[in-house]
Every structure is written in structure tokens, then in C-alpha cells.
Structure 1
Amino acid sequence: MPAPLRLGTRRSALATGQSTLVADALREATGRDVELVTVTTFGDQTSAPLHTLGGQGVFTSALRDELLAGRIDFAVHSYKDLPTAPADGLVIAAVPLREDPRDALVTRDGATLGELAPGARIGTGSLRRVAQLHAMGLGLVPMPIRGNVDSRLGKVESGELEGVVLALSGLRRLGRDGQVAEAIDPIAMLPAAAQGALALECRSDADDTADLLKTLDDHYSRICVEAERALLATLEAGCSAPVGALAEVVEAENGLEISLRASVTAADGSDAVKLSATGALTDAVEVGQRLARLLLDDGAAELMGARDDARA
């Protein structure tokens, strides 16, 4: 009997929960046993705001080191945490069916964004969410927070905050989506690129492992994420930038096509560039690159630069 596949995962409840879901699905699909190996990443060891930690990779580089050293066979990442540049010696072997990519609001009494009083304190660790909350013009006050899902929800339960905004996918994977007051319409708040998607990564020379992981790949989820991440890469924006992106496979006159919406929002919500593009399913990367160039032509770089100036 072959040895169990060693699945590398971060230690948080969300990371181990979603890794357990992958392990169970892989066992069912292939009959191969899987064991979880927990790894502490740099992002897990600090409480500093994410946008001050030097960009992408703070939650993933330690897992990639373990992969390259041969101490684990594959890793499960929240895809939005991965740098957009390819990693030498590694490959994304599968993108399982994507969970709902929307952001979600949790409040103590079930109030939605439109029902909260001006001045209500809304916790989030995301510059993108901060910018888009300001842009709504509701007078809400974003408050910086870090920590696991339970600690963030606890700040609402204690009354320290009136609400928090989190990824709906994470709440669902933890079985906490019953606490959601509002799944925020992407028209009001575009999610982060690849939000709700997982990436199953292994060494590029591990063909047997890659073949096993491919049994979990969902084609439409993969190409939607490829379009969103191509946009992010072309904008040269990190995972903490105030960029929203959401691709969907939709019906068109000549069959299915990919539809991509994106936004770049000033940190204070005073300005934003919002555009969309469509293309063939086989051209997902090109659609993302093309939309990014249109955003840049409309001033997206200046909006992202304003964020950097404000932090300096």
C-alpha cells in the first residue's frame, strides 16, 4: 500500500478545515490516504496589518519551502494568498470547485450595511474592503483587525465593533455562515482576485501526485481564477491592493464565454475605476491582461499610487 500523501497546511482553523475538506475529497476520488502536516508561516506569527508585511507570500512561502524540500507532497493554499508570479519547481495541479467568492457582513443584530447607522465601526484587515466601504458613502468607519475568524467575530459579539466583513467562503467552510447578515452584492463590493478558490500545489516533477490532484480540478473555477490573477499581475498589484476582480462563465450568443469585472478604488473611496471585459473561455489570461490595461489607461495606477503615498 502506498504511503499517505502528506498535505501541508497552515495551522489556523480555517486552513486546516479547508485542507481537511480537500483530503476527504481526494481520498474519495482516488482511494489514496492523506495526512495533514501543519506548517507555521510568517503571516501566522505576526499581528501587523497585512499591507505592511511586504506583499504576497506571507502565508504561503513556508509551505512552498516545505514542498521544495520534499517534507510534504502537496499544499493547500487560499488561492488569493499566492503571489501571481510562477514559483520555480512548483505547479498548481488543481483548483477545486470554487466556493461563493462574495464578501460577507456579520453584525450583532443582523443589520445589513444599509441598515447600520453612520459611524458604525466595521472591522476588516483588507485595504480593498476599506476603500470600497468608504466608496459606498454610508458613513461607516472601517477599523483595522487581524486574527482568526473566531476572534474577529468575537469583537462583534462583545460590542467592540458593530460588524465585520469576511470572506463568505471561509465562513461557509467553518460552518459559521448562519451568522451572516448580508452576502454583499459584487456590484457594491467586488471581491479579491481568486477569493473563495483553493490552489492545490505540488512539485513540478511530481507527476504521480499531480495526476491524483487533477481529479479534483474544476475547469471553470480554474479559468475564472486565471483571468482574475492575470489582471492582478498586469496591474502589478499585490494581494493587499485595493483591487476587486470577479470572473464568471456566462451564456453568450455563440455559447459560453468568460466575463470579468474589475475595480481599483482610492483608499478613501473618493474615486474608482470600474470596467469589464469578455472573451472566449480559452482566452482567460488575455481577457485579464486586456482589462488591466484598460484600467491603467483610465488611471488605476494613480489610484494605487495614492494608497502608497498615504501610507508613507
Structure 2
Amino acid sequence: MTLRIGTRASALAMAQTGQIADRLTRGSGEPVEIVKITTAGDRSTASLASLGGTGVFAAALREALLAGECDIVVHSLKDLPTSPLPGLVVAATPKRADARDALCARDGFTLETLPVGARVGTGSPRRRAQLLSRRPDLETLDIRGNVDTRLGRVSTGDLDAVVLAAAGLDRLGRLDAATQLLELSEWPTAPGQGSLALEVRAGEEHLVAALDHPATRLIVETERGVLARLEAGCAAPVGVTAMLDGGLLFASARVYSLDGSSLLTSSHALYPADTPAPADELARRIADELLAAGAAELAPLGG
């Protein structure tokens, strides 16, 4: 039996799907075919926020899976809506890569040393708010394009820097372009960033079950649970980071105003063995605290 894996055709999507294909082939000995699928996000040059953000890259992949055009789809988990789609199941979340953001700047600059008024590109409202929160003097520009296109705008001098996911740079062998890795304690990233989601039709979970990493699943379900309870999508400047340390599940979330001038933070921890649904419980505590503190008035939530 040939397993058909659906993916976007971008260099990054193909790189991460190729890694999954290799693991499936080694584990089962079965041949694998990669099926390239074009999504609405690939066809449009509009900003991700204006396109609706979350789901713009996932919808076409899921439609192909439901239509039987492929057997598995590989998503960047941060691009996958938090609401499940009837008939489909995220059957595996492989071990997470680096969840941090990376600043890729000319001349080795860091966020602290970038010149006043430096032009920094990002397509993410969260990253824009974080940049302005730390450096309100920066000029942030909305950009689209693949990793090489974005890095190219720095090398040509069109931009002074861009902010990209460290995991994506690493998967493409471009981590050397990073001049600073932004630590999660001060710069929480998108829920699920650095993680992949392997989605299959309900009842076919066995196809990828061997690739699931339980600790990663618990962590990313916590992060995505906060996002779901805040009813926040890609257009909302929300960063969440969770981790397991010494048996303790810890999570922290931060909601920013769009201009970065204000922010709210909530952090909680629990022992997973103490509750039947630890990810849900921790996400509820954090989201409830943020909403009670006025997060819905601070940022565009509810969509």
C-alpha cells in the first residue's frame, strides 16, 4: 500500500513533509507518495490577517483528505484552526522543534542594537505588537512570501530585519541567518509553533500513531486550548508557551494591544496527574484570568 501525504508545495512544507515521509517509510517499509496541494494562502498575496489568518493554509489540505485525494496531511500546527473538523483527527504530533522566533537582521544586529527607525518585516500581528512593545521606534512592515524571499529583502537592504520561526529556518538549513533567538520567557510565540500535526480521516489513526510524541501533544494542546478559549485567531496578538519541567506542566500567555503599547500576562502550573484533563484545566485558568483582566478590550479577540 502506498501512503499518500498531502502538503503545501512551499520549500518549508516540502522539507518538513519529507522528514515525516522518511520516518513513515522507515517504520512501515511501505512506499510513500507526496501530493502537492495549493491553498488559498498560497494563491493570494494579501496579508494573512486580512485573509482570516488561521486556516488559510489548512482548508485545502483538509478538503483533499476528506475527498480521498491523500491519506495523511502534514500541517504546521500553528496554521491549524483549534476547532476540530468532523471526520478528521490529528492522530500524531511528532516531537516539537524549537518554538522560538528568530530575528534575522543585517550586519549581525539584535533587537536591542537595531538602529532607531529600522525597518522590520513580519506578516504576524503578534510579532508586530511584540516588536513595538520592545522597540516602539521601529518601523514594522507587513510582508508575505517564503523564507528565502523574506531573507532576500534583508540581504538586498530593502529591510533591516525580518522575524521568522526558528524551526522553519532550521528545517530549511537556514538557521545561520538568525542573528538572535528570542527567548520564550520574554517573547512567547504562536501556540503550537515548531510543532507539526499529522491529520488523518477518523478511524485511520493507526497510519501515523507511531509518530506521536505524548509530551509534545500535552504541551501544544495546552497552548491551543488558551487560544481557543480566548477565541483568538492569527489576527490576534497573542503568544502562548507551555512546557513540562520536573513533572510540572507550566504555561504562560500574553495578550498585546495591536500597537504593542499595552499587554496582559497570565501564568499557571499544575501536575498533570492531579486532574483528568490537564491541558484543558490549565488553559481554562489562564484564559479566564486574561479575560477577567480585560483581554477582550485590549486585543481583537472573538474571531
TM band (smaller chain) = over 0.9
User: What is residue 261 of structure 1 aligned with on the other side?
Assistant: 252
User: What is residue 278 of structure 1 aligned with on the other side?
Assistant: 269
Aligned amino acid, residue 125 of structure 2:
L
SS at match of 2:210: helix
Q: Which runs of 5+ in 1 are unaligned?
A: none
SS at match of 1:200: strand
SS at match of 2:120: strand
User: What is residue 64 of structure 1 aligned with on the other side?
Assistant: 62
Q: How many angstroms apart in 2 are the aligned matches of 1:290 and 1:239?
A: 22
1:293 pairs with one of 288, 291, 295: 288
Q: Which runs of 5+ in 2 are unaligned?
A: none
Aligned amino acid, residue 17 of structure 1:
A
SS at match of 1:117: coil
Q: How many angstroms apart in 2 are the aligned matches of 1:98 and 1:75?
A: 17
Aligned-pair CA distance for 1:33 = 1.8
2:99 pairs with one of 97, 101, 105: 101
Flag the 1:277–1:100 CA change in 2: closer, same or farther, 3 A.
Answer: same
User: What is residue 217 of structure 1 aligned with on the other side?
Assistant: 212
Aligned amino acid, residue 262 of structure 1:
A
Aligned amino acid, residue 20 of structure 1:
G
Flag the 1:82–1:66 CA change in 2: closer, same or farther, 3 A.
Answer: same
Moved more, 142-151 or 130-139: 130-139
Structure 1 outlier segments of 4+, above 2 Å: 305-308
1:53 pairs with one of 51, 54, 57: 51
Q: How many angstroms apart in 2 are the aligned matches of 1:32 and 1:291?
A: 43
Q: What TM-score do the two structures reach when normalised by structure 1?
A: 0.93
User: What is residue 42 of structure 1 aligned with on the other side?
Assistant: 40
Aligned amino acid, residue 279 of structure 1:
L
SS at match of 1:113: coil
- Equivalences for 1:129-140 in 2 at 5 Å? 129-137=127-135, 139-140=137-138
Contact map agreement 1:267 1:307 (CA 8 A) in 2: no
- Equivalences for 1:86-165 in 2 at 5 Å? 86-137=84-135, 139-165=137-163
User: What is residue 239 of structure 2 aligned with on the other side?
Assistant: 244
User: What is residue 19 of structure 1 aligned with on the other side?
Assistant: 17
Aligned-pair CA distance for 1:107 = 1.1
Contact map agreement 1:7 1:73 (CA 8 A) in 2: yes
Contact map agreement 1:30 1:212 (CA 8 A) in 2: no
Q: How many angstroms apart in 1 are the aligned matches of 2:181 and 2:200?
A: 33
Contact map agreement 1:49 1:125 (CA 8 A) in 2: yes
Contact map agreement 2:230 2:301 (CA 8 A) in 1: no
Flag the 1:211–1:164 CA change in 2: closer, same or farther, 3 A.
Answer: same
Q: What TM-score do the two structures reach when normalised by structure 2?
A: 0.96
Aligned-pair CA distance for 1:307 = 11
Contact map agreement 1:261 1:274 (CA 8 A) in 2: yes
**Count of residues paired in the alignment:** 299
SS at match of 1:305: coil
User: What is residue 197 of structure 1 aligned with on the other side?
Assistant: 195
Aligned-pair CA distance for 1:62 = 0.6
